[in-house]
Structure 1
Amino acid sequence: MLGNHKEAYNFSPIGSLLLLALLMMLCSGIGSALGWLTARSYGLEIGAVIDTFSDQSPLEERNLLRWINFFSQLFTFTVPAVLLARMLEGQKWLSSLQLHRASRRAIYAAAGLYIFGIFILSQAAFWFNQQLPLPSWADQMEGTALRLTQGLLVMESPAEFLLTLLVVAVLPALGEELVFRGVVQQQLAKAARSPAWGIWLSAAIFSAFHLQFAGFLPRLLLGAGLGYLFLWSRSLWVPIAAHFLINGMQIAGQYIQKNALAEAAVDEVNWPATTLAGLLVAGLSYYLYGQYRKQEPTAGAQPPGHN
């Protein structure tokens, strides 16, 4: 059924999500093909590199994995989200994703502190997650993910640092926010008729999509924090910036200090830091919610989850 624009189509929220899943599968195939071609240009086999990849792997293999991740991120997340928005909204696709406007600098500053507080709280959630037993297959997946991440975080030059920042911080911040907040959260909020349900359900999907079950709870918390930033700011650029801040901070810290920042065991909860982080998040939530309540949606636009 045609929408307001002749090039836009009208789908139900669930139909939109199913179409997104289809586009993600199709486009990820293109990304995989480009990764395979890149490996061939290096004279390497992807499977053999992944099987032995670690923090001891040579520069050529590290960069190959980075380019494979580049194509995977671009075609699994960014491209499908933009294609879907174009199909559903036509020329209004930017506003449908809440990309048509930025927020005030004070909102970005508050969002940065807010997501940093959420990140500290997520360390306590990670400790709790570690207390839950995992099946052997999940433990094996965790070990593989940790090994690959530690290899990708080996950066011996500024060029490696910049490429890693692009692949591990910039593209995930853009693509994952387009999919999980720009599309999934808004569509689930419509289906459930509740912004809160949209935030928490999309956060759960966001966390599960990473297939790292020892980190499910902290990613759930981070995803929910990003979801509330999207709701309160009415701009997808705010959670994109916050997502980039968290990832970029870890990449920069790894490059400067040369310490492994990949997920590892958390022996105990730092309760003073957790308490302060909780107070910081509570205070900033009050401020950001107050700013949200003061805003009036621009003509023809609706707050995320209220469409």
Structure 2
Amino acid sequence: MSVAVAATLAVFLAFLLVSPVQVLNLALGVWFTQLFVFLGGGWLVLSATGRAPARYTGLSTWSVGSAAFGFALGVANFFGIIAPVQYLAQFVLPASWNDYDVSGIFLGHSPVELALIVAGLGIGAPLCEEFFFRGVFFRGLLSRGGPPWRALFFSAALFSAFHLDRMGFVSRLELGLLFGWLLWRTGSLWPGILAHAANNLVSTALFFSAQHLEPAQTPSPGDEGRMVVLLALGGCAVLLGLLSAARRFPGLLGGPLRPAEEREAPEPPVHLEPPARLLRRAFPGMMAATLVLGAYVVLDPVGIELSQVDLRYPLAPVPEEAPDALHAERNALYELRVRARRGETPVGAYAQERRRQSRQSGGGRPPVLPAPNLPPSKESP
């Protein structure tokens, strides 16, 4: 068994165990999953097999230049590749594949929860996911031999699949390829972490910017398409410029390309510690996770009750082409949740409105929009 297989099994089992935390509270769930599953699970497997986690994953290798280059590459890649791919996916793929309601991630939360979610996306996810998917899984596959592109592709595919978003699978696959290439090229995890952070922060900033647009300022579909094309052209130009600069100045990528035997050095098979010693090694993390969950249950009963309401009455994302009244209704629901969170409104009032909108949207299925008013055809009576 290789490190990649052992770590994947450990993280998958841990993910199944802690997935209910995402239901209890999204802000807590984001950090809980990142720290105790991706970072903790990967760290446990590496340390239990006699490896130094920070050195093995490239976390201990740091260069300001390559880290800054990774951040710039992440921004350019978002506009040049990710944004147009996501935009096209809306037209090419079925609407039922839209598994993510982005507004549900950011809206309807208290200021503290919102800050934790944004920090989790901008700091926690880049650090912990890169540690596992690139530092542990990709490095583990790479050390087994074979062409590097194979390890790069499989690690990127696993990274994308873990997000459970069919509409965004291709774009996250591309991100996984980029982050993996940065680790393979530089030997450091930090350029990929910074590129990952840049991607998440830019998309988050764009979402909040769009929330402040008045209906009259919202671009039409035609204007939106032209804007995406212009941004894609500019992003691709910057992306090519950065890659060209890295070829001319290898220091941007941490120096010249390292020898293949150093980048893809084979490793001995995994020999896990005896179960008793492994349990002792995992015990501090398990206790910390238990204390965090216990403290949350005691300190936030209202949040748990609201999360149960959300789970009981799922909502489908409101399509962009839906009437303004439908968007306003959904935003009012999120505001009602915030008031219930503060204790200004009974949770029952929020539950009643949530149930009504859930039924209106088909219990989590995309809502049926009214047919557009078309002029009658000549054949119609």
SS in 1 for 2:262: coil
Number of positions where the alignment pairs a residue of Structure 1 with one of Structure 2: 252
Deviation sequence 1:170-218 (CA, Å, 0-9, x none): 2211121011111122222233523333223221221122121111121
SS in 1 for 2:107: coil
SS in 2 for 1:69: helix
The equivalent position to 1:113 in structure 2, one of 69, 72, 77, is 72
Deviation (angstroms), 1:162: 2.4
Percent identity, aligned pairs only, is 22
Q: Is the Cα contact below 8 Å between 1:177 and 1:240 reproduced in 2?
A: yes
* 278 and 32 in structure 1: CA distance in 2 versus 1, 3 angstrom threshold: closer
Q: Name 2:98's counterpart in structure 1.
A: 142
One-letter amino acid of the structure 2 residue matched with residue 19 of structure 1: A
Structure 2 distance, partners of 1:238, 1:244, is 10
Q: Is the Cα contact below 8 Å between 1:85 and 1:93 reproduced in 2?
A: yes
Structure 2 distance, partners of 1:130, 1:190, is 38
Output aligned runs, 1:1-307, within 5 Å: 11=1, 15-32=2-19, 35=21, 46=23, 64-90=25-51, 92-103=52-63, 105-120=64-79, 121-134=81-94, 139-140=95-96, 142-143=98-99, 145-146=100-101, 149-154=102-107, 159-255=112-208, 258-259=211-212, 268=225, 270-289=228-247, 290-291=250-251, 292=253, 294-295=255-256, 302-303=262-263, 305-307=264-266
* 282 and 179 in structure 1: CA distance in 2 versus 1, 3 angstrom threshold: same
Deviation (angstroms), 1:256: 6.1
Deviation sequence 1:50-98 (CA, Å, 0-9, x none): xxxxxxxxxxxxxx221123222323311111112212343x2211111
Structure 2 distance, partners of 1:293, 1:238, is 10
Deviation sequence 1:17-69 (CA, Å, 0-9, x none): 32112211332355346x39xxxxxxxxx4xx7xxxxxxxxxxxxxx221123
Q: Which has the larger radius of gyration?
A: 2
Q: Is the Cα contact below 8 Å between 2:74 and 2:194 reproduced in 1?
A: no
Structure 1 distance, partners of 2:244, 2:265, is 20
One-letter amino acid of the structure 2 residue matched with residue 232 of structure 1: R
Q: Is the Cα contact below 8 Å between 1:230 and 1:238 reproduced in 2?
A: yes
SS in 2 for 1:302: helix
Q: Is the Cα contact below 8 Å between 2:82 and 2:171 reproduced in 1?
A: yes
One-letter amino acid of the structure 2 residue matched with residue 197 of structure 1: R
Q: Is the Cα contact below 8 Å between 1:142 and 1:214 reproduced in 2?
A: yes
Deviation (angstroms), 1:102: 0.6
RMSD: 3.2
Structure 2 distance, partners of 1:32, 1:293, is 37
Deviation sequence 1:142-161 (CA, Å, 0-9, x none): 24x21xx3122127775344
Deviation (angstroms), 1:255: 4.8
Deviation (angstroms), 1:131: 4.0
Q: TM-score, normalised by structure 2?
A: 0.57
Q: Point out where structure 2 has 5 or more consecutive residues left out of the alignment.
A: 214-220, 267-381
Structure 2 distance, partners of 1:32, 1:129, is 27
SS in 1 for 2:144: helix
One-letter amino acid of the structure 1 residue matched with residue 71 of structure 2: G
Deviation (angstroms), 1:123: 1.6
Deviation (angstroms), 1:224: 1.4
Q: Is the Cα contact below 8 Å between 1:153 and 1:254 reproduced in 2?
A: no
One-letter amino acid of the structure 1 residue matched with residue 229 of structure 2: W
One-letter amino acid of the structure 1 residue matched with residue 98 of structure 2: E
Greater Cα offset, 175-184 or 268-277: 268-277
Structure 2 distance, partners of 1:218, 1:259, is 26
Deviation (angstroms), 1:231: 2.0
Structure 2 distance, partners of 1:284, 1:88, is 38
Greater Cα offset, 240-249 or 191-200: 191-200
Q: Is the Cα contact below 8 Å between 2:75 and 2:202 reproduced in 1?
A: no
One-letter amino acid of the structure 2 residue matched with residue 272 of structure 1: L
Deviation sequence 1:213-268 (CA, Å, 0-9, x none): 111121112221212222222111221122122213333454566459xxxx9963
